[in-house]
Amino acid sequence: MKSLGKRSDGARLERMKSSPLWAGDRFRNTHPITPGLRDPTASMPSLSDFLCGGERRVPRGPLPAMSPLETWARPPGSGLRATWLGHSTVLIEIDGLRVLTDPVWGPRASPSRFAGPKRFQPVPVPLRAMPPVDLVLVSHDHYDHLDYPTIRELAKRDVPFVTSLGVGSHLEFWGVQPERIVELDWWESYRLPNSELTVTAAPSQHFSGRGLKDRNATLWSSLVIRSQRQSVFFSGDTGLTTEYRTIRERLGPFDLVMLEVGAFHPAWGDIHLGPENALAAHALLGGGPFLPVHWGTFSLAMHAWDQPAEALLELGPKMNAQLVMPRLGEPIEPSRARAVEPWWRVVDADTEESVPDTPAATTLPKAMSWPID
C-alpha cells in the first residue's frame, strides 16, 4: 500500500544514524515515556474502547466555518496572520510569505480510504483553491499530520518541504522532487532562498511510524518559523517536556504559539499534551498568543470532541494565557485577536435530535462533498 510510505536507506539513512537522537536502530526521546505516568490509576484502553467507547466523541453537526479566500487576498496589517484549517493544518502568513503546517486534506487519518478515523467535515478551503504557498512544514509522519493524497497533490507544485529526519523518504516516494526536500535534526535550521525566513527544528516528545514495523524509524520535531519581525512556535505532536524552557531560551520569544491540545489519554504517558499540559508548556515557552491545534477534526482518543476547548476556556484565564481560538477557516492576526467566544457550543445546542456516538465510523453530512483536488 503506497500510503504507508517508504523506509529510508542509503545516504539518507546514514545521516539519520549520525543524529545524537538515533539509538541503535531507531530514534528515541530525550526523556523516557512511561505509560500511566500521568495517572497511575488509568488503564490502557482496549481496541473496543477506542472504536466504540467514550461519550460525545464527535460533534452532532458541522462546526461553524468560513472561507478565508477574501481575507487572504489582502496582506495582514500586522505582518502576521494564521488561519486554522483543521487539526494541525494552519496557513501562516508571515511578512509576505505563506507557510503551511502539517497539511491534511484527506478524508481519514488512516492508510485506507475506507477505514479509520474520519474527518468531522471537509477543510474550509479545497486544496485546489489554496493560494500559492512558499513553504510546507511536516512535523512527523503520523497519518493525521502526513497525508498521502494531500502530499501527492502538493508534489505537483513548486514548493519546498521542511520536515524531520527520515520523513523525506515518504515525500520522495510520493512524488516530491528530492531537491525540494529539507530534513532537519533538532536545532538545525533552514533558510528559505531569497528571503529572511528561517525554520528551526526543535525538541518534542512523541514517536513516529506508519506501519507495524517502523515505530520511531523517522524523527519527530516541533518547529519554529522566524522572519525579521515575527516568530511562531508550532509544537507538532508532543508531550510535556522540560525542553520547552530551552526552546524559549534559544529561540524565543514568540508572537504566536501553536500547541496541540487534543487526542490525549492519561494512560498513554507524555506523548500528547492535553489542555492542562499545553498551558504548562505555554508558560515554559514564555507565553504569547496561544492558538490551540490538534482538535475539532478527528476522533483520536476517548475524550469528548470539545473537551480540549472547554478545558482551555476554563483554565486559560487562571494561568493568564492569551487564548486565540478562531473558527475553522477564520484568519486571525494574533496581535489583534478578539476575546474568545465559544463558537463550538452552537453545534450541540442547535441540534434537536441526538446522534449516536460512533467515533471511528461517523459519516459526514450527505450535503458535503470531498474537495481535495
pLDDT band with cut points at 50, 70 and 90 for residue 350: low
The model's confidence at residue 185, banded by pLDDT at 50, 70 and 90, is: very high
CA dist 218 and 167 (Å) reads 6
Evaluated on CA atoms 238, 239, 240, 243, the torsion sign reads negative
pLDDT digits (tens, 9 = 90+) for 56-70: 889 999 999 999 999
Query: How many C-beta atoms surround the C-beta of residue 37 within 10 A?
Result: 15
Res 52 pLDDT > 80: no
State the pLDDT at residue 265. 73
Report the mean per-residue pLDDT for the chain: 90
- What single letter denotes the amino acid at residue 6? K
pLDDT tens digits, 93-146: 999 999 999 999 999 999 998 999 999 999 999 999 999 999 999 999 999 999
Asked if residue 334 lies in contact with residue 292, where contact means CB atoms within 8 angstroms, the answer is: no
Rg over alpha carbons for the chain, rounded to the nearest Å, is 19
Give the C-alpha distances (Å, rounded to integers) separating 55 from 44, 52, 196, 273, 358.
17, 9, 47, 20, 9
pLDDT digits (tens, 9 = 90+) for 330-342: 999 999 999 999 9
Question: Can you give the pTM of this predicted structure?
Answer: 0.90
Query: Among residues 141, 90, 156, which one has the least CA distance to residue 111?
Result: 141
Q: Is the pLDDT of residue 14 over 80?
A: yes
Instruction: Report the alpha-carbon distance of residue 362 to residue 140 in Å, rounded.
Output: 26
- Mean pLDDT highest for which of 40-44, 263-267, 325-329? 325-329
> 228: how many CB neighbours lie within 10 A of its CB?
12
Q: How far is CA 284 from CA 45, 83, 133, in A?
A: 30, 24, 31
Count Cβ atoms below 10 Å from residue 225 Cβ, excluding itself. Answer: 26
Extents of the domains making up the chain? 2-30+82-333
User: What is the pLDDT, as a whole number, of residue 31?
Assistant: 87
**Domain 2-30+82-333 top-level CATH class:** alpha beta
- At residue 54, the pLDDT reads 65
C-alpha closest to that of 137 among 226, 63, 210, 15: 226
Q: What are phi and psi of 348, to 5 degrees?
A: -80, -35
Distance set, CA 220 to CA 143, 180, 238 (Å): 13, 19, 9
Helix 307-315, helix 274-284: angle, nearest 10:
50
| Vertex 330: Cα angle to 328 and 336 (nearest 5) | 135
